[in-house]
Amino acid sequence: MDDISPTRLLLGALAAVLAIGILWVGKLNATLKKTPPEVLAVSPHRWTEAEMRAVYDRIRAKPVDWASHLPPRATLAGGGDRRYIITGGSGGVGGTIVLHLLARGHPPEALRIVDFRPPDRPELTTGAVARVDFVRADITSATGTTAAFDAPWPAAVRDLPLTVFHTAAVISHADRSMITYERVRGVNVDGVRHVLDAARAAGASVFVSTSSASVAYRPVEYWGNPLRRWPRNYWQAIDEADFARPLRPHPQFFGNYAYSKAVAERIIAEANAPGFRTGIVRPANGIYGTTSTTDQIVGYCLRVGTFPSWIRNIIQNFVHAGNVSLGHLAFEAALLQDDRNGNMPKCAGQAFTVTDDGPPTMFDDVYNLLKVIVATPPIKVIYLQPGLMLVLAYVVELFDLASRLPVVGRIVPRPQGSLAMLQPAIFSASTNHIATDTAARRSVEDGGIAYRPLVSTMEGVCQQVLDWNIEHGK
């Protein structure tokens, strides 16, 4: 028998490794297409077509009335006459807060939007909201932020107490390397410091900031023990328990965005004081319902009509932008209350998760609702294989990081557009997260903010689809 050459041995070893890799990816792909029974137990009911049509018809007959469910202005300290600065007020959550403040009866001259771009959402450019003051500012600049806060107010409101709603942020779920951390730190950490300093200097007494429930997410270990039934952290219970613990190291967050938000939360909590009360709102999962032109969840599906997905079986809590705004306004009302001894309420300096009403939602439920209810364009979902997309995500990340190196970056192209978002961190962000808003729903006396979401996810999506259908004439 001839001796086996080293080349043949090497090729055989490579073939074996390749075969094992293919088998491993195949097993993982089959696993990722399933929903763990522990998660299904929390959300066992799938939306039926009859339910979808019934809820849509009810919403069409009586659209969601956010104005009547806002914390009443008259219940705020001093009778509710206040000034408001909304950083990021041109965006989804910030713009919704602006609309809710006007609906509650605050005059336009008592509001100011501080953002790097003026409002362009249709609902923010007509009517009373068009008279709201806009000051352009880059919050990565301390002097620019201070100047925006120090701009003069109309005489009728300049002496009113001031509340600041800080909603500005850089949202980038794909990045997880410290090489790219500077992209989010400038706005999400340094910007928070600048806004806090400017708010204190301007005499603000209440400061409520938008964070994210993703602060509590742990990275999913997709390539751990191949004999495990599920990848580690494939489903997670999300609450605010991490906020009371020391800050985790960067690698224990799903990505740079969550880490930057966690760092910012500590800064905001440390700033809390009797004369400058702070609070943090953590919207669960992504936020939908802002507008069909900017919303990157439901609005994105409506805009493109045909879109890919590999997470149809994933269950998460959704949260409508209107419910997020309710969380901010409820937090403000809570912070303006003193306890029986005249001290700050227990919620001051704390973080609270907010979600839609009802159980968490499977993505396929939302897809099916869009297919049934949307008038035009017809909704079509291209279902992709999650295991293959995960492997591709590592390739995209490798190119992205290599393109940032001093020498290699000259020859390696950087992924652009939607492809740049396809990186491993996205998979940890879009796994099964079961969030709870129990703490936020507690009364102020019991340490909560008396949060009451107005809509469930089915109701919220139906309202957004109704607006879309009306806009498109059907």
pLDDT band at 3 (very low <50, low <70, confident <90, very high): low
pLDDT above 70 covers a percentage of the chain that reads 98
Tens digits of per-residue pLDDT, 30-52?
A: 999 999 999 999 999 999 999 99
The average pLDDT across 152-175 equals 95
The CATH class given to the 37-471 domain equals alpha beta
Lowest mean pLDDT among 161-165, 412-416, 469-473: 469-473
Tens digits of per-residue pLDDT, 168-188?
A: 999 989 999 999 999 899 999
The average pLDDT across 49-57 equals 98
**Is the model's pLDDT at 1 over the cut of 50?**
no
Residue 327 has phi, psi (to 5 degrees) of -60, -40
Looking at residue 77, what is its pLDDT?
Answer: 74
Looking at residue 244, what is its pLDDT?
Answer: 94
**Is the model's pLDDT at 114 over the cut of 90?**
yes
**Is the model's pLDDT at 75 over the cut of 80?**
no
More confident position, 148 or 378:
148
More confident position, 130 or 13:
130
What phi-psi label fits residue 125: left (phi over 0), alpha (psi between -120 and 50 degrees) or beta? alpha
Measure the CA dihedral 148/150/152/153, to 10°. 90
Contacts of 280 (CB under 8 A, 6+ apart): 208, 209, 211, 243, 265, 268, 269, 350, 351, 352
**Is the model's pLDDT at 134 over the cut of 60?**
yes
**Is the model's pLDDT at 210 over the cut of 90?**
yes
Cβ atoms of 260 and 185 within 8 Å: the answer is: yes
Tens digits of per-residue pLDDT, 275-312?
A: 999 999 999 988 999 866 678 899 999 999 999 999 99
**Is the model's pLDDT at 79 over the cut of 90?**
no
Looking at residue 2, what is its pLDDT?
Answer: 55
The average pLDDT across 90-105 equals 95
Where exactly are the structural domains of the chain? Answer: 37-471
pLDDT above 90 covers a percentage of the chain that reads 83
Cβ atoms of 314 and 432 within 8 Å: the answer is: yes
The pLDDT mean for the chain works out to: 94
- Burial-class residue 325 by CB neighbours within 10 Å (0-12, 13-18, 19+): buried
